[in-house]
Amino acid sequence: MSGTENKSTAEERYLATVVAVTDQYTVPINRGSNDYVGVGSRFMLYSLSEEEVKDPVSGRSLGRLEIVKGTGVIINVQSRMSILQSDQWEAPTRRIVRKGPRSFSFGGEEEEVVVPSNRRLEFIDSKVGDKAKPI
């Protein structure tokens, strides 16, 4: 951010809005190459809480909570629009494999096997109008 660019201008420039819901894993956003978005850029998808949160001591507004719906990576870029796809995966499964005699007191071995998941996680209840910001 340059010295002449204030924070709200930078936020407006990079804050994106979901313009459609392609499926539970993919949403187009209204930022593209004209906004310096490139393939591989990561964004957090979120909505804002209905009510403002107030500081219980001062009574001052702290703004609205960001309700995180997931994170994603840009997979396609056009000049004014990009496609954001979830980049979160189901946790891998872990299991213990025992080799040798049943009793470990007689030299049996144990090995942990980690099986990665091939199941992508969905964005949580994504909707037109949700926000996305670079992370």
Taking a C-beta distance cutoff of 8 angstroms, is the pair 68, 29 a contact? no
The answer as to whether 95 is a domain residue is no
Q: Residue 66, by phi and psi: left (phi above 0), alpha (psi -120 to 50) or beta?
A: beta
The answer as to whether 37 is a domain residue is yes
Mean pLDDT by 10 residues, the chain (135 residues): 47 80 96 95 95 94 95 97 95 75 60 82 96 95
What lies within 8 Å, CB to CB, of 60 at 6+ separation is 54
The answer as to whether 124 is a domain residue is yes
Tell me, what's the pLDDT at 104?
53
Q: The domain that contains 55 carries what CATH number?
A: 2.40.10.410
Tell me, what's the pLDDT at 102?
57
User: Which residue, 35, 47, 48, 38, is CA-closest to 73?
Assistant: 38
Vertex 24, ends 134 and 114: CA angle to 5°?
Answer: 80
The answer as to whether 6 is a domain residue is no
* The overall pTM is greater than 0.85: no
The answer as to whether 32 is a domain residue is yes
What lies within 8 Å, CB to CB, of 36 at 6+ separation is none
Residue type (1 letter), 56: P
What lies within 8 Å, CB to CB, of 75 at 6+ separation is 26, 39, 83, 84, 85
User: Which residue, 125, 130, 132, is CA-closest to 47?
Assistant: 130
The answer as to whether 111 is a domain residue is no
Segments forming the whole domain that contains residue 50: 15-89+120-134
- Total structural domains in the chain? 1
The answer as to whether 46 is a domain residue is yes
